[in-house]
Amino acid sequence: MNNNIDRSWIDKWEVPFVISGPCSAENEQQVLETAKRLKESCHIQIFRAGIWKPRTKPNNFEGVGEKGLKWLQEVKRKFGIMVATEVANAKHVEQCIGNDIDVLWIGARSTASPFTIQEIAEALEGSNPIVLVKNPIHPDLELWIGALERLLKKGIRKLGVIHRGFFIYKHSKYRNQPNWNILLELRKIISNIPIICDPSHICGNRKGIMDITNKAFHFPCDGIMIESHCNPDKAWSDAQQQITPENLYDILKRLNIRSKDKSKINLDSLRILIDELDENIIFLLAKRMKISKELGTIKKNLDIAIFQPERWKYIIKRYISIGKNLGLSEKLLENIFEILHKESVEIQQNKVSE
């Protein structure tokens, strides 16, 4: 894609490029204390805090609104760090521009709505903040790129994207499943787009953050955004995934930052893709075996034989044909399905003899 994205805002910093701060601004004291401790321990480049919070359900804390912008200005003045908040409509954009906010991010729910993006792009025309576009809730690469195009058309050039993972229904150890593959595709289409990874919203808990941060830098992403709070357990939103500034410092210290060697970078990113696929295979296997177990119970109740040769012949013929069309060898497919089928029969037999 031909574009004139301006990367200078991120390229001027040494890695790691770090955005951090609370999920939500709650009061001036919490904002300033978090910023002070971040400044002292981690040398972050951008301080984040949500002022308008898109919540899944009503009756939750929806952000302090415009008054929080003054607290962000205070962070900028006192600690000399750039400040960022989320915008979801034209009014938010105007208020941020009027209050000198350096970085605006567009949340996952907004990226999924072309009307919202268009409204934001129009409100941004003629101003010059850094704009970071989070991936849409679902893995629709075109929609994500479409959002960037709408912004570029209005002359917004200091752009970047944030990978915060994708919602999948049930069965994931993540709050939002990471998808490194889609990032590779995005890089193929827009090679110069700065990519920030958001381990907090991917994990939804504290313990996975180190692993995803490490992956992000080996991928390689250009930076990370991690939620931090001066008292995470008491946070008014996303408490379970926020960490203290001192914990962030530990994570950054333990990071094994990417090497500059190009073939090592490619090796690392391919390994990350393989790990992700293997993890998905394990989740699918677990799902499949759970259904086998249920099948065992039904067969027992109906008094049907567990091993049914006709069904087995049908399965193996069908999957060899599908797999061969995808370029897999017949031998691999036979081996895999024999093992799977054998395990499935054993599970059902155990069920029957229970």
Sites of contact with ligand PEP (CB under 6 A): 23, 50, 54, 107-108, 134, 164, 201
Instruction: Choose the contact partner of 108 out of Mn ion, ligand PEP, none; CB within 5 to 8 A by kind.
Output: ligand PEP
Q: Closest distance between ligand PEP and the C-beta of residue 171, in Å?
A: 20
Is the CB of 23 or the CB of 38 nearer to Mn ion? Answer: 23
Site for Mn ion in 223-262 (CB under 5 A): 238
Binding of Mn ion at residue 26 (CB under 5 A)?
A: no
Is the CB of 174 or the CB of 337 nearer to Mn ion? Answer: 174
Binding of Mn ion at residue 25 (CB under 5 A)?
A: no
Q: Closest distance between ligand PEP and the C-beta of residue 198, in Å?
A: 6
Q: Closest distance between Mn ion and the C-beta of residue 108, in Å?
A: 10
Is the CB of 176 or the CB of 269 nearer to Mn ion? Answer: 176
Structure token pair of residue 190: 């827009």
Sign of the alpha-carbon dihedral angle for 199, 204, 206, 212: negative
Residue 223, classed as helix, strand or coil, is: strand
Instruction: Choose the contact partner of 175 out of ligand PEP, Mn ion, none; CB within 5 to 8 A by kind.
Output: none
Binding of Mn ion at residue 19 (CB under 5 A)?
A: no
Distance CA(353)–CA(42), nearest Å, equals: 59
Instruction: Choose the contact partner of 150 out of Mn ion, ligand PEP, none; CB within 5 to 8 A by kind.
Output: none
Q: Closest distance between Mn ion and the C-beta of residue 253, in Å?
A: 24
Q: Closest distance between Mn ion and the C-beta of residue 225, in Å?
A: 10
Tell me the residue type at 139: P
Q: Where are the alpha helices (DSSP H) in 174-328?
A: 180-189, 199-203, 209-218, 245-254, 262-302, 309-325
Integer angstrom CA distances of residue 49 from 35, 105, 265: 10, 10, 32
Q: Where are the alpha helices (DSSP H) in 198-241?
A: 199-203, 209-218
Is the CB of 52 or the CB of 217 nearer to ligand PEP? Answer: 52
Is the CB of 107 or the CB of 220 nearer to ligand PEP? Answer: 107
Is the CB of 16 or the CB of 107 nearer to ligand PEP? Answer: 107
Instruction: Choose the contact partner of 134 out of ligand PEP, Mn ion, none; CB within 5 to 8 A by kind.
Output: ligand PEP
Interface segment toward Mn ion; rule CB under 5 A; list 16-24, 90-98, 116-124, 306-314 = 16-24
Residue 161, classed as helix, strand or coil, is: strand
Contacts 24+ apart (CB under 8 A), 68-72: 68/25, 68/31, 69/95, 69/96, 69/99, 69/101, 70/28, 70/99, 71/25, 71/28, 71/31, 71/32, 72/25, 72/31, 72/47, 72/99, 72/101
Q: Closest distance between ligand PEP and the C-beta of residue 86, in Å?
A: 6
Instruction: Choose the contact partner of 68 out of ligand PEP, Mn ion, none; CB within 5 to 8 A by kind.
Output: none
Is the CB of 222 or the CB of 268 nearer to ligand PEP? Answer: 222
DSSP-assigned states of every residue in 94-137? HHHHHTT-SEEEE-HHHHT-HHHHHHHHHHHTT---EEEEEPPS
Instruction: Choose the contact partner of 196 out of Mn ion, ligand PEP, none; CB within 5 to 8 A by kind.
Output: none
Is the CB of 19 or the CB of 333 nearer to ligand PEP? Answer: 19
Q: Closest distance between ligand PEP and the C-beta of residue 293, in Å?
A: 35
Rg for the chain, CA atoms, rounded: 24
Instruction: Choose the contact partner of 107 out of ligand PEP, Mn ion, none; CB within 5 to 8 A by kind.
Output: ligand PEP
Distance CA(70)–CA(77), nearest Å, equals: 10
Which residues share a beta bridge with 20? 47, 226
Residue 28 near residue 71 (C-beta atoms within 8 A): yes
Is the CB of 218 or the CB of 229 nearer to Mn ion? Answer: 229
Integer angstrom CA distances of residue 262 from 91, 219, 267: 44, 11, 9
| Residues near Mn ion, by CB under 5 A | 23, 238
